[in-house]
Structure 1
Amino acid sequence: MLKKFYKIIIVPYTLFLLYLLFLGMGRFQYDDNLLTIKPIVSTINFIKGASSWMDIVTIVLGNIIMFIPFGFLGWIFPTLKDLKSLLFTFISVIFIVEALQYFTRMGIFEIDDIILNTSGVYLGFLLCRFVEKRFEELV
């Protein structure tokens, strides 16, 4: 039951997320290609300069929470049931997305985004295993 719902919802969810990553939330095309490659530094600087806690929660936690559903991809692609395969595949894809943001100048290539998004996938993977063990009859 849950797997069927997941299979139906993950494609539109992915498309919505891609919209947010390239066009949503007031995005605009930068004049220059921008990148931040020092891990954690840009997140710390963002937190220091944030005007409110809500901005921090929206951006930092959002970068984690929005990617939790991808931890369940093993339900659709059996090769991604293994954590190493899931993380390798996800990091490869999110790297490409960040590169597209860089080359289109519709965002900033940020290592911190890759780290935070991957953390979300890992949490999703753990949640998926919990759901599978706890609610076997629904899965």
Structure 2
Amino acid sequence: MLKKIYKIVIAPYTLLLLYLMFLGMGRFQYEDNLITVEPVFSTIKFIQGAMSWKDIVIIVIGNIVMFIPFGFLGWVFPKLMDLKSLVLNFIPAITIVEALQYFTRMGIFEVDDILLNTFGVYLGWLFRRYLEKRLSC
């Protein structure tokens, strides 16, 4: 039952997430193409300079949590059941999305976003495995 619900929900969820990444949450088009390629350090700088904990939660934790559902993609695409296949397919896909943010100037290409999003997928993959063992999905 859980797999059927997931298969129905993941496509609209993906569209919602893409909307948020390009148009939602007060997005605007930057005058310049922006890129941040300092892994981890840019997130640390962001946290140090954040105006509130709410900003940190929305940006940093959001970049992880919002991608947890993609750890379940093996339910839709059986070839993505193992972690290696899932990650090796996810990283190019999220890199393309980040590149589109860069080229459209509707966001910043950030290496940390790729890392945080991939960590979210990993957590989702772990959670999927846990559910499968517990609930016999």
Per the shorter chain, which TM-score range? over 0.9
Distance 1:109 1:58 in 2: 18
Q: How many residues were matched structurally?
A: 137
Shift of 1:112: 0.2
Counterpart in the other structure of 1:20:
20
User: Which aligned segments of 4 or more residues in structure 1 are displaced greater than 3 angstroms?
Assistant: none
TM-score w.r.t. the length of structure 2 is 0.99
Distance 1:128 1:27 in 2: 32
Alignment of 1:38-49 (within 5 A): 38-49=38-49
Distance 1:4 1:39 in 2: 37
2:27 counterpart SS class: coil
Counterpart in the other structure of 2:97:
97
Counterpart in the other structure of 1:127:
127
Q: Does 1:108 align with 2:116?
A: no
Q: Structure 1: 5+ residue runs without aligned partners? A: none
* Between 39-48 and 111-120, the greater mean CA deviation after superposition: 39-48
TM-score w.r.t. the length of structure 1 is 0.98
Shift of 1:54: 1.0
Counterpart in the other structure of 1:71:
71
Letter paired with 1:46: F
Identity %: 72
RMSD between superposed Cα atoms in Å: 0.5
Q: Structure 2: 5+ residue runs without aligned partners? A: none
1:96 counterpart SS class: helix
Counterpart in the other structure of 1:60:
60
